[in-house]
Structure 1
Amino acid sequence: MRSSVEIYNIVTRETRVVWQTERLVEAPNFSRDGRFLVINGGGLLYRLSLDGGEPVQIDTGFATLCNNDHGLSPDGRLLAISDKVEFGKSAIYVLPAGGGTPRLVTPNLPSYWHGWSPDGETFAYCGIRDNVFDIYTIPVAGGKERRLTFGEGRNDGPDYSADGDWIYFNSSRTGRMQIWRVRPDGSEPTRITDSPYGDWFPHPSPDGRHLLVLSYDGEVFDHPRDLDVRLRLMDMDGGNARILFELFGGQGTMNVPNWSPDGAEFAFVRYAPPA
């Protein structure tokens, strides 16, 4: 699979290529200073400079089967990862952003990290318990997880709004995957999109103005990689939704928070069959 790591500017509507490779890489996160991206590939994490050059591996210790659910803390000092080496199922860990020994956050498995609260104190994630996909939160320091959804369809991809008042997620509770939001205490579940698409991975912008969504054709239920998809931008309440562009992608394109710190750009991965 050929991977092209790219950045789109919502003001100029221009796309620039950061790096291309003949191997599979996924899920770019912006650093808090906007100077590099974090990506995953082959079970490892890498730092990719926006100034050019090859990616540099991040030391994740024993965690060598990392998936595409990872992200930097609001202050840029910590890195959340999801890895399955230790238990054979995805578990959430935290480690220094520069690399180090991962610390387990929740023993409940499988769990897939998706978002930091704006104050850096809480994780939002998808957990599968008794084959049910639901949204959970837990203190970064560890403790008891809080369940926010209760088996109303499949619930996945949670990410906090910039003010911390809402957690956005995608849910199939109405039959087709759409975007919803809920308060951090689990109250006020609210539907955001009512589209003909299968909407996944909502990412609120850091300036609180926009919501970025990856949309499959309506008949696609899961989030496979090798399909034509579209990236859509809308207001935080779902209004003024428009397609920015279409691409070949899906899984790995933008699973986790991917906005630049100023909210003017976002990173994504475009895929293509090998040359």
Structure 2
Amino acid sequence: MRSSVEIYDLETGDTKVVLDSPNMLEAPNWARDGAGLIVNGEGRLYRLDLRTAELTQIDTGPLHKLNNDHGPSPDGAFMAVSDKVETGKACIYVLPAAGGTPTRITQNVPSWWHAWTPDSANLIYTAVRDETFGIYMIPADGGAERRVIGGPHHYDGPDITPDGQWIWFNSERGDLPSSLWRVRPDGSDPQQMTHGARVDWFPHPSPDGQHVVYLSYPEGTEGHPFGREVELRLIPIEGGEPKTLVRLFGGQGTLNVPCWAPDGRRFVFVRYFRESEAVVATEPSV
């Protein structure tokens, strides 16, 4: 499966191909120094140099079944990853940002990392406990986990605003198609932020606190599958009419984790290609 790692520029509306790979790469996010990206591929984690387009494997110790839930801490010191080597189910670990020995954080599984709090003190993640999905928080150095929100529906893709006031997530709360929601970190005041028949996943607030970018599937899609015609959409941080930025072949792996550049003007995503297709940076749809 061919992958194209691409950067979208909000100011120009241009899409730039960073890397055309014959392999399947997933879930890109931005290193805190702004000079490189972090991507997952075949259970390993890599740094992608923006100047040379070279991939360098990050040392994750004994962890070699990493899924696409990973990301650097806001202070640039650490990396959170999700791996199932030790437990057989997704478990969250923290290791030095440059690579090194991982420390297990979640004792309960499955747990899928999705975000750091702005002060780098806590991790935010999706988990299943007693066969029920929920959004959880835990200190980044380990300790007791706390459920923020959960229930009989799917709760996934949490990310937090740069002021720490809202956790965004996607859910079928109210027996609706998967929509974007936000909730206070203490679990209060849940609010639905997108409406309609489309199936919305993986909201990511921008570092400047202005926008939220997310992945939108066609009506009737179940879960967040790979290999669909999807859209990358943008809405104001307080909600409003969504704007379609890019239409592409993608889905799972395209925009799973925090994806914004530190400057808040660009974000990174992965486009996939069928065997007969060439990698071409297309003009965005507006």
Q: What is the TM-score of this pair, normalised by structure 1?
A: 0.98
Name the counterpart of 1:184: 185
Contact kept, 8 Å, 1:180 with 1:192, in 2: the verdict is yes
Q: Which amino acid aligns with 2:246?
A: F
Q: What are the within-5 Å matches in structure 2 for residues 160-179 of structure 1?
A: 160-174=160-174, 175-179=176-180
Which range is displaced more, 188-197 or 58-67? 188-197
* Alignment of 1:219 onto 2:206: no
**Which whole-Å CA distance do the structure 2 matches of 1:146 and 1:47 have between them?**
32
Residue in structure 2 matched with residue 156 of structure 1 by the alignment: 156
Question: Is contact 2:18-2:53 (8 Å) kept?
Answer: no
Alignment map for 1:14-93 (pairs within 5 Å) = 14-93=14-93
TM superposition shift of 1:150: 2.7
Give the equivalent residue in structure 2 for 1:259.
260
Distance 2:107 2:114 in 1: 17
> What is the rounded CA distance, in whole Å, between the counterparts of 1:149 and 1:57 in structure 2?
35
2:54, 2:120 → 1: CA distance?
30
Unmatched runs of 5 consecutive residues or more in structure 1: none
Displacement of 1:218 in angstroms is 1.7
In 1: Cα distance, 2:150 partner to 2:225 partner: 24
Q: Secondary structure at the match of 2:32?
A: coil
Q: Which secondary structure does the structure 2 equivalent of 1:48 belong to?
A: strand
| Amino acid in structure 2 at the alignment position of 1:42 | E
Count of matched residue pairs:
275
Could you say which residue in structure 2 is the equivalent of 1:113? 113
Per-residue CA deviation, residues 42-90 of structure 1 (Å, 9 max, x unaligned), is 1000000111232000000000000000000001110000000001000
- Give the Cα separation in 2 of the matches to 1:202 and 1:235: 12
Match of 2:282?
A: none
- Shift in Å, 1:33: 1.9
CA contact (8 A) 1:26 1:39 kept: yes
User: Residues 18 and 52 of structure 1 are in contact (CA less than 8 Å); yes or no, is this contact kept in structure 2?
Assistant: no
Match of 2:230 in 1: 229
Amino acid at match of 1:193: T
Q: 2:133 & 2:173 partners in 1: Cα distance?
A: 11
Percent of residue pairs bearing the same amino acid type: 54
Does the 8 A contact of 1:90 with 1:110 survive in 2?
A: yes
- Structural RMSD (CA): 0.9
Q: Secondary structure at the residue paired with 1:148?
A: strand
Residue ranges of structure 2 left out of the alignment (5+ in a row): 277-286
Supply the distance in 2 between the matched residues of 1:126 and 1:202 (Cα, whole angstroms): 13
What is the TM-score normalised by the length of structure 2?
0.94
SS of residue in 2 equivalent to 1:69: strand
Cα drift, residue 34 of structure 1: 1.1
Most deviating of 234-243 and 121-130 = 234-243
Q: Is the 8 A contact 1:22 1:274 kept in 2?
A: no
Deviation at 1:240, TM superposition (A): 3.4
CA contact (8 A) 1:158 1:201 kept: yes
Question: What's the offset of the Cα at 1:152?
Answer: 4.2
